[in-house]
Each structure stands twice: as C-alpha cells, then as structure tokens.
Structure 1
Amino acid sequence: MGEFELIHRHFTRPVRRAALGVGDDCALLSPAPGMQLAISSDMLLEGRHFLPGTDPERLGHKALAVNLSDLAACGARPLAFTLALALPQAHEAWLAAFARGLFALADAHGCELIGGDTTRGPLNICITVFGELPRGDALLRSGARAGDDLWVSGAPGQARLALGALRGEWPLPSAVLAAVRARLERPTPRVALGLELRGLATSAIDVSDGLLGDLVHVLNASQVGATIAADKTSHLIAANTCQQSPDAVFELKTLALSEAQRQRCVLAGGDDYELVFTTPPARLDAVHAAGARSRTRVTRIGRIDAAPGLRLVDGGGQPLQGDFASFDHFA
C-alpha cells in the first residue's frame, strides 16, 4: 500500500464545514463573520506519550482528544483538524483501527479532517486542530483575579493511577485497572464544559502535565497566587467517572494507596485532560449549573490569592509540603 492509497483509503472523507479538505495543497476554512479561529498542535510520540503496543483504536481517539482538550480550555467549538503521521510500516489492520478511533471522536464533535502528511519513521502522531468562537470570548490563562474560586473538572489522578499500575508502582484489581486505563488511553475532552464556561470563567487551562504544574501557568500569566485545600483534592481520584464498571468505582474508593500517593496522582499526575478554571465566588451556582448541563463533575478546590505563589493546606488550613513536580520533557 503506497502513501497516497493509504491516505485515500483511511483518511479521505467528504467535508461538510470546511470549504476544501483533503487532496489539495491547502485546506480552506471560512469562519463566520465576527468569529475567531482557535488553533492548537500536539504531538504524540511512541514511548514518550503512549506505551508501545497501545491499542490503535484508543490511540486514534487520544491523538485527537488531547487537541480537543486545548480547544475546550479556550472555550472554542471544534471545527477541523490536520493529521501528520509517521509510521514504521503501513499495516492495514492497525490503520483501520486507528482511523476508527480517530473519526469516532471527530464525528462526535463535528470536527473534520482536512489535510496533513504521512511518512515512514518511528511512530509519531501530530494533530493541529482548529476551532471557532465569538471574537473576544476566548478563555485565557491571564484572567484569574484575587478572590476567584479555583475549580477542576472530572477525576484528575486516574490516568496517573493507571500508569503507575502499568509500571509496577502499585497493584490494582483488574476491574479498577481496566477502568482507569481507559481514562489514560481514552481521555474525555471537556469541550461541552468549555463552551459552558464562556462568559463565566475568568481563566482556564487543561491538565496535561499535572494539575499544580499547569495551574502555575495560569498564576504566572495572571500575576496572582493560589491556595489549594488538599482535603478537597485527594478524594477526586475516586470520583464516579469510570462508567465502564460500577465495581471498579467501588474499589477505587478503597484502594490501598497512601494519602501521599493519592495526592501525588491528583496533583502531579499528567494525561488527565481535565479543565482547571477560575470564577468569581458569586458565580458558584452558575458553575454547578454549567457542570450539570455539560454532564461534567466540577469541584471547587481552592481560591486565587493576591500574594504570588502556590500554597497547599490541610483541612485545618495548615501548610503541607510535598513533591508535586509536573511532567517536563527536558527536566
């Protein structure tokens, strides 16, 4: 199977929203008047971003999900994406499964493939995604203000819990591993929540490298600090978001992990693709309503401070110490 047959067979589809898609030198997008394009790129490299032998259908899903998560953090509606794919071999079954996972998520969000590139090489997936939103409505990292509430969506820590089990750091019952491994390999981009947060949140970011590490980007951009209540975070890892198995949800609540291990998963674990965002306290009810409409769990975990720095406190307000360094490719 040659390069162009590969593209035609697995990645060429009629466009519905773009003016021109796969097959020409450039794709064409026509945003509506008064709208802006939101654009983001992410690369997934085998052995760095995903384990060798990862199910290709799940990998197709995740490759797009991590990009849709960036649109969610900006409050943008998905529009289209490009795919650059390096493959060691052009295996028909692998490509069919990868494309199936990729397009299932793309279709769920009305996001169409409009171009890209393929080459032979170590397995590497690079997607550039395009979204749209009304001019001036983008959620940014720079809008957090002292006094704002600090929130997180979903169940951060479950992806790190799965990775630790796969690395042999701790044992997990089979039902729990299956549930949290799905969170690692098939993350849910919080696009619906991101749309609901437009005009409601003052800042937002998605959690890709670790909750605390990614939050620091917001604090630096907004020139503020934050205080996080550790007792409101450690339980998040057992949040009821593993719909695959009710038994797994129950077992998550009784895991034989220390409090420090749970906190490390939640606060420093990456690959969650949840949203961390800030809102004025007066909008508390509106945030809960936004979570309900988007069918997304939202939890208030702290506040934004005028004083710079990030502070972690226990239930009594006393400072906690710990190593919660986020993932860094070059550290």
Structure 2
Amino acid sequence: MSVTQQEALASLRILVRMVWADGVLKDEERQALAEALKGVELPDVDVDGLLAEQNPLEELLEQVTHPEARSAVYDSAYTMAYIDGECSPEEQALLDQIRAAYALPETKVQAVAGALAAVQAEPAIAGEAVSDPAEREAQVRKLILSQATTTAVLGAFPVPGFSIAFDILIVVLQGLMVLNIARIYGFDPNEPKTREVRALIVGNLGLVGATIAVRNLAKFIPGAGSVFGGAATFATTYAAGEVAKKYFAGGGTLDAASVREELKLARKAGEAAYQQNAEAIAARKQALEPQMQSLAADLKAGRLTEAEYQQKVQELTRST
C-alpha cells in the first residue's frame, strides 16, 4: 500500500499547524512555506488556502496512517521546529503530540536530531587563499559547478518517508561551498562574520527549515518530484555560489532582502547552466547510483546512523 494523496495533503496541513503553534502566522513564516510549496500542485486547495487553515491537529493526525508518511511527518515537523536551534514550548508540545499519536520510539527522535546536528555543526575549513585573480576565478568556478552537480545528483535520488538525510546533506554541502569560496578570496572561513554570511545566503535559498520539511512530504504528491529534483537543486546551489562569489570578490555588504533578490536572479543563470551540463550530471548520477542505493539501504535497515550516512555520502561524492 502506498501513501495516498489525502495522506500527503494531511501531512502538509500538519506542517501548517506547526507554524501556527503560537497562534500567529508571521510574515516570514508565510513567505517560507509559500516559497517552499511553489510549483507543487495541491489537490482541492491552493497555497494561500492551505496556509489559512487551522484544522484540529488530532483530526489531521488520524488521516495519516501509512508508516512512511507518519515517519516523514515527524521528521519534517521536527526539522521546522529545530532547524534554527530553538524550539518554542508550543512547537515542542505539538511534536510531543505527533510522537504520541504515532507511538514513535526514542530512537526516532535521536535519528532526526543527529541529522540536524550536521547542519548546525561548525566544521573547520582548511586551505589557503588564492592571490592570482585568474586562478582564483577558475577555482571558484570549478567549485561552484562541482558542488551544484553533486547536489543535483543528491536531489535526483528520491528517498521518501524514512529519511530527510539527503535534503539536510544538500544544505551542508551548500554551506561548505560558501565557506570555501570565502577562503579562496582571502576571508577567514572560520570567523563568525564569514559564517554569518554563509547562514544568510544558504538560509535564504528557501528559508531552509520549510524547504526541507515540505520537500520531505511533497515527495508523496504525484508530480512534485520535479519541483525539488536535480535541476532545481542544481540551480539553487549554483545561485548560492554566485552570490557568495559576488560578495567575497567585492567585499560588499549583504542583507536578507538583497540576498533574496540576488538569489532569484542567480537561479535563472543556474537553470541555464544545468541545461548546459545535463549530460555530465546524468553521467555522474549513473556512476554514483549503485553506491547511493547501497548506503540508503543501510540507513533504512539501521546499519548506519543519520550522521554516519551523511559522512559516507560526503566521502563518496568527493571521491568520484
């Protein structure tokens, strides 16, 4: 038995209840969910209508019966609550209600918490700045294309239900790319200011928590895969690289509004770049597919933790 469309829609409605947890839908929360849902064809309701709903959580939870969908609901709700490192008491109460309704074990909480820890970690970035302008440009261009290709491959592997590890790993790789661009241009990638720039750029790719959460559930909606698949992921990673390059090359200043506008423009260039590199991306996906499927099977069977899985995928994508 597969996840029904009704269950998928109920799952998304549960996410809406999460953002209404404190009784107020903030403008930035509305924008985050609307952006994340853009392009997803919802049955019988549009995005504005969905965001205005305040259905009783108990009724929505009862509508989701498939084990994969229930697991995905908790993963997504937890991610939305904890992605920024803070979870309000109201959000925690809803998480506890979801967990109790679905009788989820403590190991489930530990698994998604471990996956999120990778996003919130601050790995040290090693390497030297590049002083020669031509070499610097070449290295940054190669880095952006390489990471956009890698995340496109990850985005093209559907892993619905049991894990959001792919989606979180994409965010990790995008952040590491921004920090390495900073290093190439002579900025200290381990300084708090540089990491603030990383957070501003990557966070505004879709206001990360909402994007990951919605993507994890929208995979159950027929046709939604193309919205979050390889082409879209390539374009967003490419955009992050281009905006980071522009900032660190010019030493300018960034704010949330300007970053969103810059990313919107850079995404269009990323979409064109994807078409130009489609054959290379397809070849890389084909080369990685057997190992990716093996790692996914190990994760699903419990032979790997979320953290171990992410580490092995990073090693695999660096070595091929």
Give TM class, smaller chain: 0.3 to 0.5
Q: TM-score, normalised by structure 1?
A: 0.32
Q: TM-score, normalised by structure 2?
A: 0.33
